[in-house]
């Protein structure tokens, strides 16, 4: 009897210890499947579920570290593409290689891996198949690697093959998340976010068409490809998930979006922007009617709706920070919030550039190029890297120390594990985030002013920031 009481007490202390280190950990881990396996409760179920969580933690780490490996070559290609940036040469092979290494190799690979982890946690369910995630991973890596090979060798069929591989990975992701949705407690909330995948479908479809020499909407294809990818997919997905993630990170009392949210307004705005861009006239056709034609009007209305919904998401995000249960705030979370807040004026400026391009028919000018570089390499680079600095240390900590720790209070000082908040070096990570933003600003300045040296210095700053960030990740893995 006494032995049983001691065992129960030890379990309670262990769970309390983890709860103190990771706010909201026990609740979210339970909803993510830690307490059940195939509907059966008990010690065997817990062991199997913990093993399943370990596999899910590992696959997300693999995706994110691979994405980080693509980030360095993307910035390096920008150094060599500096003359093309200054000339506004969109079709330069080095510039195309750099953008696709970043967008597909770094951003899309990281986001795909994060979705396999975030979806079961944020919406409370369990992942359908880790093995399917690894098949998707292979397709993503092969597709991302094919883009620079195709562009730099002048073989557009190779780039198109890369796009087809990424499209296949997208299909597997949809299947995996679709089956995962059947297990979610917050299924309705998740389904309200599902239309965002339509924009990734459009971005991939128009990109493959252009690579094959068959632009589906003529000269509007390039602009629609960018709008669907940058605004419709990446920015919208980040906005939809961020308040939910911050709520988990800080264990917030704010109710959030259980019954309704601004997702539909956000996606309606993105859809109107895409519809307006599709009306960009072909040479010799006067469809646009200037800055106040139908295409520009739709882009303008869509941008206003999008910015209103963006502001609503920011409001809920900061409400989660205000009504958090623990007063001490992990250092990386304000930097995530700062990146998201800075994204609002950047999104407004990007919308204005798209509005002007839709009205004038100039879909490849230096203004649009500079804004694209600023939003992609600055905003997306900052936010994704900041989220990685939050998520990867936790995944590494769980894989190294697991769920079966002896309570910290009963361990010798030399044997106590590094706290999850102390895993990631603070100063070097902040310097890297600032370097990504500063490099993107200089890239945009180079495109707008036609000064090659600005673009080259900006790309060099980005390479240095990547080295610092990769070094911080290496230190985190060594701890």
For the segment 247-297, what is each residue's pLDDT rounded down to a tens digit? 888 888 877 665 566 888 999 999 999 999 988 765 444 444 556 678 888
Average pLDDT in the 136-148 region?
Answer: 97
What is the per-residue pLDDT for 131?
92
pLDDT confidence bin for 401, thresholds 50/70/90: confident
What is the per-residue pLDDT for 13?
40
| pLDDT of 405 strictly over 60 | no
| pLDDT of 14 strictly over 60 | no
Residue-wise pLDDT for 27-83, tens only, equals 344 344 433 322 333 333 344 444 555 666 789 999 999 999 999 999 999 999 999
User: For the CA atoms of 91, 93, 96, 101, what is the dihedral angle to 10 degrees?
Assistant: 180
Residue-wise pLDDT for 387-400, tens only, equals 999 999 988 887 77
What is the per-residue pLDDT for 217?
82
Q: Hey, where are the domains in the chain?
A: 184-364
| pLDDT of 360 strictly over 70 | yes
Average pLDDT in the 365-393 region?
Answer: 94
pLDDT confidence bin for 384, thresholds 50/70/90: very high
pLDDT confidence bin for 406, thresholds 50/70/90: very low
pLDDT confidence bin for 305, thresholds 50/70/90: very high
Q: Which residue has the higher pLDDT, 184 or 11?
A: 184
Average pLDDT in the 119-141 region?
Answer: 90
Residue 255 main-chain phi, psi, to 5 deg:
-65, -30
Q: Can you give the pTM of this predicted structure?
A: 0.86
> What count of other Cβ atoms lies within 10 Å of the Cβ of residue 337?
20
Distance of alpha carbon 270 from alpha carbon 245, whole angstroms:
22
Average pLDDT in the 232-255 region?
Answer: 88
Q: H or E segment at 237?
A: helix 236-250
Residue-wise pLDDT for 421-435, tens only, equals 778 999 999 999 999
What is the per-residue pLDDT for 411?
52
| pLDDT of 11 strictly over 50 | no
What share of the chain in percent tops pLDDT 90? Answer: 56
Q: H or E segment at 478?
A: helix 452-478
What is the per-residue pLDDT for 289?
54
Residue 235 Cα distances to 110, 240, 347, 436, angstroms: 14, 9, 9, 17
Residue 477, token pair as written in the block? 């893995």
Give the side-chain half-sphere CA count within 13 A for 73. 18
What is the per-residue pLDDT for 462?
97
Residue 273 Cα distances to 194, 197, 205, 276, angstroms: 19, 16, 17, 5
Q: Are 159 and 151 in contact (CB under 8 A)?
A: yes
Average pLDDT in the 92-113 region?
Answer: 96
Q: 209: exposed, middle or buried (C-beta count within 10 Å: 0-12, 13-18, 19+)?
A: middle
């Amino acid at each position: 009897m006494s032995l049983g009481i001691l065992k129960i007490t030890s379990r309670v202390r262990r769970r309390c210890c983890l709860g103190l280190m990771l706010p909201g950990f026990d609740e979210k881990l339970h909803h993510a499947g830690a307490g059940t396996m195939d509907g059966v409760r008990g010690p065997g179920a817990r062991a199997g579920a913990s093993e399943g969580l370990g596999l899910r933690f590992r696959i997300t780490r693999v995706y994110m570290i691979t994405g980080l490996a693509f980030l360095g070559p993307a910035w390096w290609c920008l150094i060599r593409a500096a003359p093309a940036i200054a000339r506004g040469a969109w079709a330069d092979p080095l510039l195309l290689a750099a953008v696709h290494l970043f967008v597909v190799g770094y951003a899309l690979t990281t986001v795909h891996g994060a979705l396999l982890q975030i979806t079961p946690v944020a919406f409370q369910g369990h992942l359908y198949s880790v093995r399917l995630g690894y098949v998707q991973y292979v397709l993503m890596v092969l597709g991302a690697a094919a883009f620079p090979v195709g562009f730099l060798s002048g073989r557009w069929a190779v780039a198109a093959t890369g796009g087809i591989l990424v499209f296949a990975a997208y299909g597997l992701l949809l299947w995996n998340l679709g089956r995962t949705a059947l297990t979610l407690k917050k299924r309705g909330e998740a389904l309200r976010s599902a239309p965002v995948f339509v924009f990734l479908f459009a971005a991939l479809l128009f990109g493959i068409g252009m690579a094959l020499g068959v632009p589906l909407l003529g000269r509007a294809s390039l602009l629609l490809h960018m709008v669907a990818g940058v605004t419709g997919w990446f920015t919208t997905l980040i906005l939809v998930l961020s308040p939910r993630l911050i709520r988990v990170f800080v264990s917030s009392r704010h109710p959030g979006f259980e019954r309704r949210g601004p997702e539909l307004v956000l996606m309606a705005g993105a859809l109107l922007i895409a519809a307006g861009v599709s009306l960009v006239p072909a040479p010799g056709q006067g469809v646009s009617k200037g800055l106040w034609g139908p295409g520009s009007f739709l882009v303008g209305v869509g941008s206003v709706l999008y910015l209103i919904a963006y502001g609503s998401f920011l409001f809920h995000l900061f409400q989660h920070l205000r009504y958090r249960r623990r007063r001490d705030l992990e250092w990386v979370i304000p930097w995530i919030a700062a990146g998201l807040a800075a994204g609002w004026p950047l999104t407004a400026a990007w919308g204005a550039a798209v509005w002007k391009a839709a009205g004038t028919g100039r879909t490849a000018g230096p203004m649009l190029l500079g804004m694209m570089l600023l939003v992609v390499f600055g905003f997306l680079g900052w936010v994704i890297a900041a989220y990685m600095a939050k998520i990867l240390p936790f995944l590494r900590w769980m894989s190294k120390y697991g769920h079966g720790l002896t309570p910290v209070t009963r361990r010798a000082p030399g044997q106590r594990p590094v706290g999850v908040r102390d895993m990631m070096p603070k100063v070097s990570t902040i310097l890297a985030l600032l370097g990504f933003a500063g490099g993107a600003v200089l890239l945009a300045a180079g495109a707008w002013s036609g000064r090659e040296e600005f673009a080259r210095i900006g790309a060099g700053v980005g390479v240095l920031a990547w080295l610092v960030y990769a070094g911080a990740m290496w230190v985190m893995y060594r701890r």
